[in-house]
Amino acid sequence: LHFSQVGAEYGTTTGRPRRCGWLDIPQMKYSALINGFTSINLTKIDVLTGIPELKLGKSYKYKGETLSSMPASLEVLSNVEVQYETLPGWTEDISTCKTFDELPENCQRYILRVQELLGIPIRWIGVGPNRNDVIDRGEGWDLSFTSGNE
């Protein structure tokens, strides 16, 4: 319910809260694969502020075996067990941050871990509800910065 309220995730017509949950890395990797993403925009990071522990849906398990990618079968997908990785949260307000270095350390670690798991650079980071509340990391960064940060 936190994500729906803080992130204002309600249906435009019905006003019903949208289903929200932890970031699903296998699903994001699949989306990146089929769409050919070379970088991504990670939005609504501000919504995570104040949550003591953050989870990342890192992989799926099906019948005791870890799946290497998102399953092609909806039946299998509906019966997977999500394997989570837990990271520490942050309490600092990030809405006025204009650069990656201004973000709290745990927020930076979260973003870099998502980037590492995806294998795709995160160029833009949404830090507030408005269109211009975005950090643009620009062109000069790469994935080698994140290697070995487990």
pLDDT per residue, tens digit, the chain (150 aa), is 444 444 444 456 766 665 667 899 999 999 999 999 999 999 989 999 999 999 999 999 999 999 988 899 999 999 999 999 999 999 999 999 999 999 999 999 999 999 999 999 999 999 998 889 999 998 766 665 544 444
pTM above 0.85, yes or no: no
What's 139's DSSP letter? S
Q: Which helix (H) or strand (E) holds 126?
A: strand 122-126
Helix H segments across the chain?
2-6, 25-35, 74-77, 105-118
CA distances to 52, 136, 142, 143 from 100, in Å: 21, 8, 14, 15
Q: Pick from 90, 21, 130, 103: which is nearest to 122 by CA?
A: 103
Please answer whether residues 100 and 34 qualify as being in contact, where contact means their C-beta atoms are separated by less than 8 angstroms. no
Q: In DSSP terms, which residues pair with 23 in a beta bridge?
A: 56
Residue-wise DSSP of 77-106: HTT-EEEEEEEE---S--TT--SGGGS-HH
Q: Pick from 114, 113, 102, 106: which is nearest to 90 by CA?
A: 106
In angstroms, the CA 7 to CA 50 distance is 13
